[in-house]
């Protein structure tokens, strides 16, 4: 069933006929490291809750896809990257990936409210946010487009010999798009430095993986291109980090692409306008209770000696950051009408 986090499957076939990555180990974080990961996850959770609130108030419009429940994936994986060299690209559920990268929540929230100070000057909105400064390349609204684009970013890393790799996220829904496999083929053919991350949150909008995927073990989707895959518990931030270490070692060694299937779950609907009638309230509740990534990390922190007071203080800090970003996003001005005509082209002709 989809409700519980993945049971670890062996990634090796019965008789390996070529080199395979090792089964990743859960990352051994010290207290401070875990605290940092926890903080990032909590920031995403509280930020997204606030975004949902602002949407309800009509301050955020259009499509808005929340990352609640999936926080361990972006935080765990991106904590392993070399932020000077590596690049990240994702689809439309992108707020979490940006926050995991330490991009200012104010700029993100102001983009959600369509303000001049937003990271895309208010012209992109929830699904189209970028930070070239952080080598975060979006934020793409067409399901699966980021897979080919990410493969292109990896091509650029290899072409420039800059030592960087690309982390390209896509969902279980995008995993059925044709261009994903066109990209897999070229990435392996040309040994491009890319980690394909399938965030399997079990539902492509309202259609479950089982109802849409002939091979529902998505980590195997690269096999016919000789791309190895690893299935990972995406509700455990340290498992995610451990898998990232293994995947990065593989890719950085020049062995070509690798797939990480992160088994995760979104608590909210596909977007704000999705009533999520395709699954039961009990199913959602059960995941929340049994495998919430933030609660999981919190228990580990407590076991490591972090006091309840410390955690409460932290919670307050995070809420303060989020509230400030919301206040900013509500009050900062909308784009000047003249902005309508800027940024269409770079040059003048």
Partner 1 sequence: MAVEIKMPALSPTMEEGTLAKWLVKEGDTVSSGDIMAEIETDKATMEFEAVDEGTIAKIMVEAGTDNVKVGTVIALIAEEGEDAASVEAPKAEEKPEAAAEEPAPKDAAGKPEPKETGTAQLADVKPQARDPEVPEGTEMVKVTVREALRDAMAEEMRADPRVFVMGEEVAEYQGAYKVTQGLLEEFGAKRVIDTPITEYGFAGVGTGAAMGGLKPIVEFMTFNFAMQAIDHIINSAAKTNYMSGGQMRCPIVFRGPNGAASRVAAQHSQNYGPWYASVPGLIVIAPYDAADAKGLLKAAIRSEDPVVFLENELMYGRSFEIPKIDDFVLPIGKARIVRPGSDVTIVSYSIGVGVALEAAETLAGEGIEAEVIDLRTLRPLDKATVLESLKKTNRMVVVEEGWPVCSIASEISTIAMEEGFDDLDAPVLRVTNVDVPLPYAANLEKIAIVDATRVVEAVKKVTYTA
In the complex, the residues that contact partner 1 under the rule CB under 8 A are: 87, 89, 118-124, 128-132, 137-142, 145, 147-157, 159-160, 178-179, 182-183, 185-186, 189, 342-347, 349
Query: Least distance to partner 1 from the beta carbon of 86, Å?
Result: 12
Nearer to partner 1 among residue 21 and residue 114 (C-beta): 114
- Transcribe 297-327 into DSSP letters: HHHHHHHTT--HHHHHHHHHHHHHHHHHHHH
Nearer to partner 1 among residue 313 and residue 342 (C-beta): 342
Q: For strand 258-263 and strand 87-90, is the pairing parallel, antiparallel, or unpaired?
A: unpaired
b/e code 276-304 from CB counts within 10 Å (16+ = b): beebeeebbeebeeebbbbebbbebbeee
Q: Which residues contact 295 (CB under 8 A, 6 or more apart)?
A: none
Strand ranges for the chain from DSSP E: 87-90, 136-139, 166-171, 194-200, 203-204, 207-208, 229-233, 258-263
Kindly state the tokens that stand for 183.
């990209």
Query: Least distance to partner 1 from the beta carbon of 111, Å?
Result: 9
Query: Least distance to partner 1 from the beta carbon of 155, Å?
Result: 5
Query: Least distance to partner 1 from the beta carbon of 143, Å?
Result: 10
Nearer to partner 1 among residue 21 and residue 150 (C-beta): 150
Nearer to partner 1 among residue 188 and residue 236 (C-beta): 188
Query: Least distance to partner 1 from the beta carbon of 148, Å?
Result: 2
How far apart, in Å, are the Cα atoms of 104 and each of 175, 182, 212? 30, 35, 37
Nearer to partner 1 among residue 96 and residue 152 (C-beta): 152
Contact in structure between 207 and 228 (CB atoms under 8 Å): no
Query: Least distance to partner 1 from the beta carbon of 162, Å?
Result: 9
3-state secondary structure (DSSP) of residue 23: coil
Nearer to partner 1 among residue 155 and residue 278 (C-beta): 155
């Amino acid at each position: 069933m989809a409700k519980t986090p993945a049971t670890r499957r062996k990634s090796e076939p019965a008789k390996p006929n070529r080199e395979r990555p090792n089964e990743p180990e859960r990352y051994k974080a010290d207290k401070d490291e875990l605290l940092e990961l926890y903080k990032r996850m909590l920031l995403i959770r509280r930020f997204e809750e606030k975004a949902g609130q602002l949407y309800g108030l009509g301050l955020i419009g259009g499509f808005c896809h929340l990352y609640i429940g999936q926080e361990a994936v972006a935080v765990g994986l991106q904590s392993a990257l070399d932020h000077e060299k590596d690049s990240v690209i994702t689809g439309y559920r992108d707020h979490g990936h940006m926050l995991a990268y330490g991009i200012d929540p104010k700029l993100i929230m102001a983009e959600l409210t369509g303000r001049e100070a937003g990271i895309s000057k208010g012209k992109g909105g929830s699904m189209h946010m970028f930070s070239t400064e952080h080598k975060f390349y979006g934020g793409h609204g067409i399901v699966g487009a980021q897979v080919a684009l990410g493969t292109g970013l990896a091509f650029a890393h290899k072409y420039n010999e800059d030592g960087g790799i690309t982390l390209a996220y896509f969902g279980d829904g995008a995993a059925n798009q044709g261009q994903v496999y066109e990209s897999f083929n070229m990435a392996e053919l040309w040994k491009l430095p890319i980690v394909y991350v399938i965030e399997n949150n079990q539902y492509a909008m309202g259609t479950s993986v089982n109802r849409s995927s002939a091979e529902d073990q998505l980590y195997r989707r690269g096999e016919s291109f000789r791309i190895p895959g690893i299935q990972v518990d995406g509700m455990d931030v340290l498992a995610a980090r451990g898998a990232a270490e293994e995947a990065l070692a593989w890719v950085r060694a020049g062995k070509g692409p690798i797939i990480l299937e992160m088994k995760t779950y979104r608590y909210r609907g596909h977007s704000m306008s999705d009533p999520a009638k395709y699954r039961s309230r009990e199913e959602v509740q059960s995941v929340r209770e049994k495998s919430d990534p933030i609660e999981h990390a919190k228990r580990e922190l407590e076991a490591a000696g972090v006091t309840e007071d410390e955690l409460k203080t932290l919670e307050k800090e995070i809420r303060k950051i989020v509230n400030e970003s919301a206040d900013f996003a509500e009050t900062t001005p909308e784009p000047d009408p003249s902005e309508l005509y800027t940024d269409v082209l770079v040059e003048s002709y």
